[in-house]
């Protein structure tokens, strides 16, 4: 890693939007110094023209769902009919085809300004449930794909044992299951992190991990001080089945078995009771909202403002990748709430950006990312302010412009650990990302 000097035309710092900001990065991939009020680029510096933000965090991803884009937008249906189509794609993946697809998907994320992703990974085994010679072949393919695409990854290795409240896994779900939490823990312990990778854990959902085994997953994460994520109350059918099976809501069940806490992130949290919201907030459990997926699957609108007021930090994810655009996720959280309440201004643009940056990275275990300040990881995302979507507003409104008008197409530069991964809209490591995506998806349809 070589040291580099970047000159940002405008940058979003702790003090707000500043003009002429010099960011020096060190050989350790961190920000060495930040200096504002520099009117011209210093000699030898790299110019970042537009608004430079901390790198964006995608706190919830299922990389293989990217192969569903377009195909699942036909006709009618529900989450459950969508799931059947998803299983069809999962059945056809191998470590090699998963690597090719994930590399292209993570490159698409880099083009969208994402510098870190949380991969909620449950596709562990071969079709039929047999183990690969390397039992972590699929997870290691994802780790390698992220490195090749130039972004960081938190691999959230997911425990998935049941088709629903103790029922055996379906034919499609055999690939997901380690049969017991002890076997899951043994396999997951073989995964190794590095400078680009953190290893975390996930409970797929209360329907997929028997109640008596939830504590094993929570303890595995606790011993390693690792992030722990869980799909929570995405569907009312899950809530109803949980109450019928146990007499409690999913949130109460998780609380009773030690799953909630400051290192835990609940994904979706769409259909909650007031008591659920208090449990999540008072325990400091984070919540990852995925608005484009939640509306694509007709899930509903989660109580994000109430969760945040109760004490839950919010993060954002692209989940099923109907689109990969964290700026869209940020504004969708606000705009969906406006539709729900018929009032405006639940969050400021800066608060939404915090969910998209610092709080998202923290949910993935990267507490030293998400800010442009000395000592932080040198992750930068630059949004153009001169496109047909962003031109016009004055620089002092650049944050509002980025959140409420810009899209992934307006990302001009992405820097990860001081490395210039996307330069002037072109990925420097993966040539022709669109072609790579097309080829990877086509291989799954052959």
Q: Which of 125, 231, 268, 427 is catalytic?
A: 268
Q: Which of 296, 319, 359, 379 is catalytic?
A: 319
DSSP state of 190: T
Check if 367 is active-site: no
Check if 268 is active-site: yes
Chain centroid to CA 43: 37
Q: What is the C-alpha R_g of the chain?
A: 21
Sign of the alpha-carbon dihedral angle for 63, 353, 229, 199: positive
Quick one: residue 103, left, alpha or beta (phi over 0 = left, psi -120 to 50 = alpha)? alpha
Count of beta carbons in the 10 Å neighbourhood of residue 71: 12
Which spans in 24-111 are helix H? 79-91, 95-111
Count of beta carbons in the 10 Å neighbourhood of residue 201: 26
The β-bridge partners of 380 are 54, 415
The span from the CA of 90 to the CA of 26, in Å, is: 41
Q: Which two tokens stand for residue 178?
A: 């380690």
SS3 content of the chain, % helix, strand, coil (to 5): 40, 25, 40
Chain centroid to CA 365: 12
Residues that are catalytic: 268, 319
């Amino acid at each position: 890693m070589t040291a580099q000097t970047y000159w940002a035309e405008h940058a979003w710092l702790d003090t707000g939007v500043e003009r002429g900001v010099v960011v020096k990065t060190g050989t350790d991939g961190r920000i060495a110094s930040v200096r504002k009020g520099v009117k011209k680029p210093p000699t030898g510096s790299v110019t970042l023209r537009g608004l430079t933000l901390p790198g964006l965090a995608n706190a919830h991803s299922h990389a293989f769902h990217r192969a569903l884009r377009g195909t699942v937008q036909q006709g009618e249906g529900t989450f459950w009919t969508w799931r059947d189509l998803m299983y069809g794609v999962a059945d056809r993946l191998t470590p090699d085809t998963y690597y090719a697809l994930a590399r292209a998907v993570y490159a698409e994320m880099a083009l969208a300004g994402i510098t870190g992703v949380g991969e909620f990974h449950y596709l562990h085994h071969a079709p039929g449930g047999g183990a690969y010679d390397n039992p972590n072949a699929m997870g290691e393919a994802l780790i390698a794909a992220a490195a090749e695409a130039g972004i960081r990854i938190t691999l959230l290795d997911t425990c998935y044992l049941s088709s629903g409240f103790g029922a055996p896994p379906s034919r499609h779900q055999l690939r997901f299951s380690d049969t017991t939490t002890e076997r899951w823990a043994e396999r997951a312990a073989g995964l190794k992190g590095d400078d680009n990778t953190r290893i975390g854990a996930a409970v797929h959902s209360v329907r997929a991990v028997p109640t008596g085994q939830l504590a094993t997953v929570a303890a595995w994460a606790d011993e390693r001080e690792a992030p722990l994520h869980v799909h929570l109350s995405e569907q009312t059918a899950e809530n109803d089945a949980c109450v019928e099976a146990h007499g409690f809501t999913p949130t109460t069940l998780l609380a009773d078995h030690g799953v909630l806490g400051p290192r835990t992130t609940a994904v979706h949290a769409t259909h909650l009771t007031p008591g659920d919201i208090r449990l999540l907030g008072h325990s400091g459990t984070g919540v990852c909202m995925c608005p484009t997926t939640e509306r694509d699957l007709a899930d509903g609108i989660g109580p994000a403002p109430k969760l945040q007021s109760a004490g839950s930090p919010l993060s954002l994810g692209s989940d099923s990748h109907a689109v990969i655009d964290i700026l869209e996720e940020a504004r969708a959280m606000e705009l969906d709430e406006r539709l729900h309440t018929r009032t405006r201004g639940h969050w400021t643009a800066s608060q939404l950006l915090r969910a998209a940056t610092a709080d998202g990275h923290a949910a993935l275990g990267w507490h030293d990312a998400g800010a442009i300040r000395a000592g932080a990881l040198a992750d930068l995302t630059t949004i153009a302010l001169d496109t047909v979507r962003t031109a016009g507003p004055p620089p002092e409104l650049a944050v509002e412009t980025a959140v409420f008008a810009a899209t992934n197409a307006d990302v001009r530069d992405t820097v990860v650990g001081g490395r210039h991964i996307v330069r002037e809209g072109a990925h420097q490591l993966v040539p022709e990302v669109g072609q790579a995506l097309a080829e990877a998806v086509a291989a799954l349809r052959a």
